[in-house]
Chain A
Amino acid sequence: MADFDQELDATGLNCPLPILRAKKSLAGMGAGQVLRIVATDPGSVKDFEAFAKQTGNELLESKEEGGKFVFRMKKA
């Protein structure tokens, strides 16, 4: 079973687009739902940490997988 409710492909996008797209996806989701984000921008690793800290959405996971950065974020 998938450990997320919705997925966002942010590969090929550069700052600040992964954050902005994630924000938009989260806006359409319900509290407690999980968004999986796949990105290629190395800056997104720190950016998603900062995004989580400032918005209250919880960053459940942040990992590198086959040259891509994968995040799971739970909507507050």
Chain B
Amino acid sequence: MSEKKLAIIATKGSLDWAYPPFILASTAAALGYEVQIFCTFYGLQLLRKKLDLKMSSLGNPGMPMPMPMPVLLQALPGMQSMMTSMMKQKMKSKGVASLEELRNLCIEAEVKLIACQMTVDLFEFSNDEFIDGIEYGGAATFFEFAGESDICLFI
């Protein structure tokens, strides 16, 4: 079996949107794929040493709520933290892996993580805010791998 390749561009930095890249990457790696995740803009949050991602119901009418809640209420201070901790609790009770665990599984499976250098500079991150072992590169770096990938996802 020749090794298949999966290329993912991760652009989102909220708790919920951090899941698809890590779930797909770790699973693909388990299936024998070679995987790279190119993290750009808010997707850089996936590479921070401390994964402290939040989520919000604002601007997300599709999120199932335990009770109906007017949008203005959802914008009150503290709501985002509340949503985040409720979601984390729910995930834990359903046996959903934590992001840290999924990221570690990706690293263990040699998923290559790439930080977009342009957005690292744009947001004035310093490299020591990111986990070790990642690479830094630009669009051309991504295409080198994506160009020969079997599956390419923009998340």
Contact = CB atoms under 8 A, between A and B. Distances in A.
Contact of B26 (A12, A16, A54): A16
B30 A20 contact: yes
Contacts of B23: 15-16
Name, among B27, B94, B96, B97, the residue most crowded by chain A CB atoms within 10 Å (CB to CB). Answer: B27
> How many of chain B's residues touch chain A, expressed as a range?
10 to 19
Contacts, number: 31
Nearest to A56: B1
B120 interface: no
Interface in B1-40: 1, 23, 26-27, 30-32
A68 interface: no
A50 to B, nearest CB: 8
A29 interface: no
Interface of A: 12-17, 19-20, 23, 40-41, 51, 54-56
